[in-house]
Structure 1
Amino acid sequence: MSLPRSLSFLRQGTGGQILDIYLDPLCPYSAKITRSLTTNVLPLIKKGGKYEGKLSVVARLYPQPFHYYGPFHIEALIVFGRLYPDLFWDYLTAIFETQTEYFNQPSTTITPSEARDKLTHLATDLLEKKHKVEGPKSKSFGEIRDKLENKGSPNGGTEATDDIKYLVKVGRQNGVHVTPTALLDGLKDDSVSSSWGKEEWEKWISEKVGA
């Protein structure tokens, strides 16, 4: 399934066949499958990989309403991905590594503003690690954080709100209820599991995509 230009960074690889993975930033199983994709799938579809130019992976960010801080994470991912598309997957991975801080019980004392501050600090730490900070680190912080402010009408949103609406609408249209959910070329594939390792992924790709 195609992506709007504003979300093109969600796609990894250049292949014509598309593996969509619906991910909730606060879902432990979404974290598990993302780690497996990072280790076992992305090296196969990126430059020099066996399936380069054949398969792409799209991270379909999909907040579950019972994970209260999920939308804040997706806002941050969208804003960061627009600014630094080449580092989107690194930031997604970093968010999954810190997700337990935002589970429902631990996050009861965190305000939305504090959550956005923390997510922005996580982003700038990543930029610093990747040597992408130009000038003072506070400048990069301010650039990202400003885009996460609610602006406009009293019930308005951030610069990521319209893209969140798109992502949610697509998930509803496709009848996605749980995360992770996998679609290959637009059709659900319930055989895909978050518990898969190298062997399972290579077998699945060879059968679905071919040599």
Structure 2
Amino acid sequence: MSLPRSLSYLRQGTGGQILDIYLDPLCPYSAKITRSLTANVLPLIRKGGKYEGKLSVVARIYPQPFHYFAVFHTEALIVFGKLYPDLFWDYLSAIFETQSEYFNQPSSSLTPSETRDKLIHLATDLIEKKHGNAGPKSKVFGELRDKLEVKSSPNGGNEATDDFKYLLKVGRQNGIHITPTALLDGLKDDSVSSSWGKEEWEKWIS
């Protein structure tokens, strides 16, 4: 399934066949499959890979309502991806590595503002690590953090809201209930598992 231009950073690879993976930022199994994709699939479809130009992977961010703080993670991923599309997958991976901090019980005393601050600090640390001196860290933090502020109305959204709504609508339209869920060229493939390693992925792709 195609992507609107504003969400093009969700796509890894240039292939015509599309593997959509629906991922909840606070789902342990979404974290597991993302680690496996990073190790076993992305090297095959990126530049110089065996399947370059044949397959693309699209990360469909799809927060589940029972993972209370996944909304804030989804917003952070969207605003980060718009400004730093080349680092999107790295930020997604970093969020999965720290997800246990935001599970329902340990995050119960966090406020939305505190959560957004922590997620943007994670982003600025990544930018500094990958891009070196991209300007004053406080300035980079401010640019990202400002986009998460609700400005439109008392019950309105922020700069991530329109794309967030799109991601939710597509998931609901396709009847996505659990994460991760895989679709190949728009059709669900329930054989894809978060437990797959290199051998299983290579067999499936071939």
TM-score calculated relative to the size of structure 2:
0.99
User: In the superposition, relative to structure 1, how do residues 133 and 78 fare at CA in structure 2: closer, same or farther (>3 Å)?
Assistant: farther
Q: Which residue of 2 aligns with 1:193?
A: 193
Instruction: State the 1:132 CA deviation.
Output: 4.6
Instruction: State the 1:131 CA deviation.
Output: 2.3
SS of residue in 2 equivalent to 1:170? helix
User: In the superposition, relative to structure 1, how do residues 132 and 162 fare at CA in structure 2: closer, same or farther (>3 Å)?
Assistant: farther
Instruction: State the 1:152 CA deviation.
Output: 1.3
Q: Which runs of 5+ in 2 are unaligned?
A: none
Q: Which runs of 5+ in 1 are unaligned?
A: 207-211
Aligned sequence identity (%): 86
Cα deviation per residue 1:141-167 (whole Å; 9 max; x = unaligned)? 000000010111111011000111000
TM-score calculated relative to the size of structure 1:
0.97
Moved more, 132-141 or 94-103: 132-141
Runs of 4+ more than 3 Å apart: none
Which amino acid counterpart does residue 55 of structure 1 have in structure 2?
L
2:127, 2:134 within 8 Å by CA — same for their partners in 1? no
CA distance in 2 between partners of 1:97 and 1:135 (Å): 26
CA distance in 2 between partners of 1:158 and 1:69 (Å): 16
CA distance in 2 between partners of 1:108 and 1:38 (Å): 31
Which amino acid counterpart does residue 101 of structure 2 have in structure 1?
E
Which amino acid counterpart does residue 79 of structure 2 have in structure 1?
V
Provide the alpha-carbon RMSD of the alignment.
0.6
Which amino acid counterpart does residue 39 of structure 2 have in structure 1?
T
Residue 37 (structure 1) aligned with residue 37 (structure 2): yes
Q: Which residue of 1 aligns with 2:144?
A: 144
CA distance in 1 between partners of 2:186 and 2:98 (Å): 30
CA distance in 2 between partners of 1:135 and 1:52 (Å): 34
Cα deviation per residue 1:81-119 (whole Å; 9 max; x = unaligned)? 000000000000000000000000000000000000000
Q: Which residue of 2 aligns with 1:100?
A: 100
Q: Which residue of 2 aligns with 1:27?
A: 27
CA distance in 2 between partners of 1:57 and 1:134 (Å): 28
Which amino acid counterpart does residue 163 of structure 1 have in structure 2?
D
SS of residue in 2 equivalent to 1:56? strand
